[in-house]
A and B are shown apart, each in its own frame.
Chain A
Amino acid sequence: MNLYLLGPELSLIGLAFLVILVDLATHNKNVVAALAGIGLVVPAAWAVSLWGQTASSFYGALVVDSYSIFFKLLFIAAAALVILMSVQYSKRFAPYQGEYYAVILLATAGMMFMASTQELISIYISLELASISLYVLASFLKDAKSSEAGIKYLLLGAVSSAVLLYGMALLYGATGSTKLNEIAQAIQESMQRDQGAVLPAIVLGAIFMAGGFGFKIAAVPFQMWAPDVYEGAPTPITGFLTGASKAAGFAVILRVFFVALGNQAPLPVDWPALFAVLSALTMTVGNLSAIPQANIKRMLAYSSIAHAGFILVGVAAFSSQGVGGVAYYLLGYMFTSMGAFAAIVAISERLGSDQIADYSGLARRAPLLALILAICLISLIGLPPTVGFVAKIYVFWAALQQGLLWLVLFGVLNSVISAYYYLRVVKAMYLGAPASEEPLPVSRTLVVALAVAVIAVLAIGIFPQPWLDFGTGAAIVLIP
């Protein structure tokens, strides 16, 4: 048991407790936000210092490898952006700001555990730590919509957890181990013994687990919760859900399916095909449902469903390029959606509305803000010179290498469809007539969040190579 390896998570949990204590002692809630934000340096630095190591702790339940560190840094960056976005926003639930930041940190810790577990029970517990924190955060506004978001997320999340647990139980029953590498070995041995026959419990277990994780990443047909939750939740938390929670789901999916069910000579379950079908369904349903939306948060909720579909293309490719593409895509998508939601927070602070119709003529009232939102939307479409373009090229290329031409055609077609509803917002901002000429000031912390996000979107898009290497370095752990 090497606690040093768990330093990033443990220091983050310690920070969360410290935030709660400081919140009790002070009335100046900006101090609490600053502590939560600046304190993130400790787990981030710790995670960086562990880069390059491969070691496991707690009898192999938790591992530190380049894959888990990649995702840990991604989640910490997401948490930092959410905290920056929340400084102004959290005045809406003034007496509970300390709890808000502490719960964000705990959710981040849960996601970080998710990225580094390779054992079914710890996967489940870390997933619950992240999920329960997010249920609380989704209902923080306490108005009708936010409460609806919280309760819907809680109930559907509980159902999906049950499905996931059932899948895990079947897999454990069939193989006699909860550790992913031992599961892989047990399946391999039983297949050799029975001339390639696979226990049906393994097939069912894999399908149930795909369903349970599919809920986390909002893949069709498990996406029903996403629009209502994303619309009702506080806007920074919506960004957190799209950017970080989805990445955590993908981190677990990749690890579970590649390590436990992907190391046998003929695959025991043809899950790449399963994910290919889910991917095609997810992007189509997400994109088509996004078209008629009038509320920008709801539109971006459907867009995030569609993006789950695009990312699943990389999972379905089942290759090291595919995993590298997924990691790079998740990194880029995190910054893009955080940037978009930061812009929405800034706009709704002054406008008091999330309706696309009210964005009319925004370019004249807040030119920089409109430009940043436009860049993020262009990245979501997947046009150069943004990160969305390179990410899409990379996952599509990985799929082509595996002969998934039909899926790539689906993806390209969907990207074209998606351009319509993203550009509708850009059109409203630049060509619409403004309701008034009064400029929209933006608070300082939000400016920082917006700047970081948009610089990342452009920098990772224009100089993709180091980031692709970063992602591929993470991928190598799963596919030798």
Chain B
Amino acid sequence: MLSSFGYVGILAIVALLFPIGAIITFLLANYLLKLRRPNPAKLTTYECGMDPIGDSWIRFNTRYYLFALLFVVFDVEAVLLYPWAVAYRRLGLYAFVEMAIFIGILLIGYLYAWNKKALEWK
């Protein structure tokens, strides 16, 4: 009984050591292997290829957050639509109805966002 509790203990120790060890190893490997050839362009913040304007620690408009949320919804929808479309012939009517319900639910969300003026940049 006691020895079998030992397995759980070993599991816990491994579960702790594995991520910590991995982090240390990767940081160390990165430090040892990386090439150090800095130049000014490399050291600037990456911002879509533009020269950065100001600091990144500023207040963002919360609308970005709303747009990001809506984007995620439709992103997931697209991800699910692709395999469905590819396998459509084999899945038949049942999958069609299921997908119609799924899109219907998302449509309600879209209508909601539209009605609550989440899509207007004002």
Contact = CB atoms under 8 A, between A and B. Distances in A.
Contacts of A21: 108, 111
B83 to A, nearest CB: 21
A205 to B, nearest CB: 10
A204 interface: yes
A199 B1 CA distance: 8
B87 interface: no
B5 interface: yes
A200 B1 contact: yes
B112 A200 contact: no
* Contact residues of B: prevailing secondary structure: helix
Contact of A24 (B1, B4, B7, B111): B111
Contacts of B105: 17
Interface in B1-18: 1, 4-5, 7-8
A199 B111 contact: no
A417 interface: no
B115 interface: yes
A201 interface: yes
B108 A17 contact: yes
The winner among B111, B112, B115 for most chain A CB atoms within 10 A is B112
B100 to A, nearest CB: 14
Contact of A199 (B4, B108, B112, B115): B4
Nearest to A173: B11
A200 B111 contact: no
B112 A24 contact: yes
A200 B12 CA distance: 13
A468 B115 CA distance: 49
Interface string B80-113: 0000000000000000000000000100100110
A17 B110 CA distance: 12
B5 A200 contact: yes
A455 interface: no
Nearest to A204: B8
Interface in A195-242: 197, 199-201, 204
A18 to B, nearest CB: 9
A20 interface: yes
A388 B67 CA distance: 51
A24 B8 contact: no
Contacts of A20: 108, 112
Nearest to A96: B116
Interface of A: 17, 20-21, 24, 197, 199-201, 204
Interface of B: 1, 4-5, 7-8, 105, 108, 111-112, 115
Given A21-B111, A204-B8, 16 more contacts: A17-B105, A17-B108, A20-B108, A20-B112, A21-B108, A24-B111, A24-B112, A24-B115, A197-B1, A199-B4, A200-B1, A200-B4, A200-B5, A200-B7, A200-B8, A201-B8
